[in-house]
Structure 1
Amino acid sequence: MRVLVTGGAGFLGSHLCDRLLQDGHEVLCVDNFFTGSKSNVQHLVGAPAFELLRHDVTLPLIVEVDQIYNLACPASPVHYQHDPVHTMKTSVLGAMNMLGLAKRLGARVFQASTSEVYGDPEVHPQPESYWGKVNPIGIRSCYDEGKRCAETLFFDYHRRHDVSIKVARIFNTYGPRMNPEDGRVVSNFIVQALRGDDITIYGEGLQTRSFCYVDDLVDGFVRLMNSDVSVTGPVNLGNPGEFTVRQLAERVIALTGSSSRLVFKPLPQDDPRQRQPDIRLAEELLGWEPLIELDDGLRKTITYFDGLLSGKSTAGAV
């Protein structure tokens, strides 16, 4: 098939492009390079089945494809809060443009949603049936509410126009090709540890997160996209293993052999206290569960960042 991946030069998108090419598809990678990087897909440029196009999904796109993965949107607080209006436009207008394209082509379309739709949850772990607790006017709202609106659009297009949709709610994911300046907890801790800097923990470090290695997540994407037409989602994709932020920091220090100290700063506004996916639906409908243990995934990610910081080539690193 010919497959469109928006946000294809980003962290997740580039790994998805790798997987789709390995599976024998043609890939049209679309990115405006706000947070994506050409270096993430440089190893694919020149491949006969790969095409790279600079484009912003807030504008209509006229192409011919069989499937659409809509991953375009800044996903870290540092990046999505940089231009919150454009973040919201990317989620909402991007969804509308990709849904319109899917409707015209009769193509199946996948939405990369997020665990942020659950906000600061009062239900733990979070099942897909939980509607969430989200601040609609906070500093994270451009992302949280943008993704919630995108889900609404997907299901309205499905009900009204019979568009074949797939919606995944992504929980914290890590791995090679993360942006070292994205402000996410895994990349922050690894970069700080490798540099020997203090490791910054917000609050007391008792807030919990669940960390899924990128290869596991991409496998979930592909399984969901190619599942029975009756499976629309939303489906949680993430690793149900739950760790405190402090535990993560201590693991990174141990694995890097760093002498970094832990320093504590005030918790940001609306930062969730707990985040853990209930993945029973993914297990039942997709036969999917993450396979890579946290320490194994962290070692691969540390190797990537060590090469990046030392100036060694990391193009195509997995």
Structure 2
Amino acid sequence: MMTAVVTGGAGFLGSHLCDRLIAEGFRVICIDNFITGSPDNIAHLFGNENFQFIKHDVTNFIHVPGKVDFILHFASPASPIDYLKLPIQTLKVGSLGTHKALGLAKEKNAVFLLASTSEVYGDPLIHPQNEDYWGNVNPVGPRGVYDEAKRFAESLTMAYHRYHGLQTRIVRIFNTYGPRMRLNDGRVLPTFIGQALKGEPLSIFGDGSQTRSFCYVDDLIDGIYRLLLSEEVYPVNIGNPDEITIQQFAEEVLSLTGSRSKISYHPLPEDDPKVRQPDISKAKQLLGWEPKVSRTEGIKRTLEYFRKIINENNG
């Protein structure tokens, strides 16, 4: 049985990844310190003989006894609310945390997969974004703490590959949504759904003309799993290229929820990307991957999850 360590395994994506790896027959060791993750996301795995949880801050030395075959580094605040509230922790987990996770991979001779982000492209000057684009990032702006943490993590991962011969993978994750997101995490979809279900105005920053491309979590995890088992060293975009404006997206959420909420407009945050759309040609060619869940279907599934959460909280 293969053993995989997932840092940030109690987070939104990390917990879904733990589920997928266990379903594929892996033994999974989940490491998290619950700064942004939640025990609720992995509660269903406690008692599973192939799941182990370690509460630990990965910016400190990581000790895992026994054989480890794969290390998937997903520990990091990822939503704007989190990384703006935790700027130093975000930089530390991208630098020190990545260094410690790579050190564990080197010790165990394990395959290392880094969860990077489309934010390495910054406010892009090319569209759609492919993996050869170097990005347009403001290193001293408020978003720089996340963007540059991930850019450094990519550089460090490649250094370990080139200098130590470590087997490495880098996934650049574009906007993803689905169950286990937090309603108040500052990302567009949970914010819109939460506001719509509560009858509050939907908050659009700017005039709503900026675009995003939303990928359902099951599709994303499938792409990551395929990348893990591949031999591709350089970054691969995983996301859904179905681009939509924020204005259109707000109207879509209102329609699917049946909400009578209005839309309110607010100033655009500093360095907020105007466009975001992945070029997934590489993922299609190398991994045979492309998203399968439509946005309408994905929103319906996510909506069901959030309705349940809101009902429980009001219960």
TM over 0.5: yes
Computed over aligned residues only, the root mean square deviation of the Cα atoms, in angstroms, reads 1.0
| Alpha-carbon separation, structure 2, partners of 1:79 and 1:99 | 24
- Paired residue for 1:55? 56
* Counterpart check, 1:165 vs 2:168: yes
Structure 2 partner of 1:283 = 284
Which residue of 1 is the match for residue 199 of structure 2? 196
AA partner of residue 102 (structure 1): A
| 2:235 equivalent to 1:234 | yes
In the alignment, the residues of structure 2 paired with residue 180 and residue 112 of structure 1 have an alpha-carbon distance, to the nearest angstrom, of: 22
Residue 17 of structure 2: aligned partner: 16
Q: Which residue of 2 is the match for residue 31 of structure 1?
A: 32
**In structure 2, how many angstroms separate the alpha carbons of the residues matched to 1:168 and 1:233?**
9
SS at match of 2:194: helix
Deviation at 1:105, TM superposition (A): 0.9
Q: Provide the rounded CA distance (Å) in 1 between the counterparts of 2:53 and 2:257.
A: 35
User: How far did 1:181 drift?
Assistant: 1.2
- The CA distance in 2 between the partners of 1:193 and 1:149, in whole Å, is 37
CA distance in 1, matches of 2:295, 2:98: 32
CA deviation after TM superposition for structure 1 residue 83, in Å? 1.9
Map 1:120-159 to 2 at 5 A: 120-159=123-162
Structure 1 residue 312, shift from structure 2 partner: 7.4
In the alignment, residue 312 of structure 2 is paired with which amino acid? G
Instruction: Report deviation, 1:138.
Output: 0.4
**Corresponding position of 1:243:** 244
Counterpart Cα distance in 2 of 1:15 and 1:312: 23
Give the deviation of 1:258 after TM superposition.
0.3
CA distance in 2, matches of 1:311, 1:214: 23
Q: Which moved more, 1:303-312 or 1:104-113?
A: 303-312
The match for 2:270 is: 269
**Cα distance in 2 for residues equivalent to 1:179 and 1:167:** 25
Distance 1:274 1:33 in 2: 31
Distance 2:44 2:234 in 1: 33
| Alpha-carbon distance in structure 2 between the residues aligned to 1:211 and 1:188 | 14
- 3-state SS in 2 of match to 1:310: helix
Structure 2 unmatched runs, 5+: none
Q: If the length of structure 2 is used for normalisation, what is the TM-score?
A: 0.98
Give the distance between the partners of 2:220 and 2:304, measured in 1 at CA: 20
User: Gaps spanning 5+ residues in structure 1: where?
Assistant: 314-318
Q: Which one-letter code corresponds to 1:197 in the other structure? A: E
Q: Name the structure 2 match of 1:316.
A: none
1:209 alignment partner in structure 2? 212
User: How many residues are aligned here?
Assistant: 311
How far did residue 85 of structure 1 move? Answer: 1.0
> After superposition, where does 1:60-79 map in structure 2 within 5 Å?
60-63=61-64, 64=66, 65-79=68-82
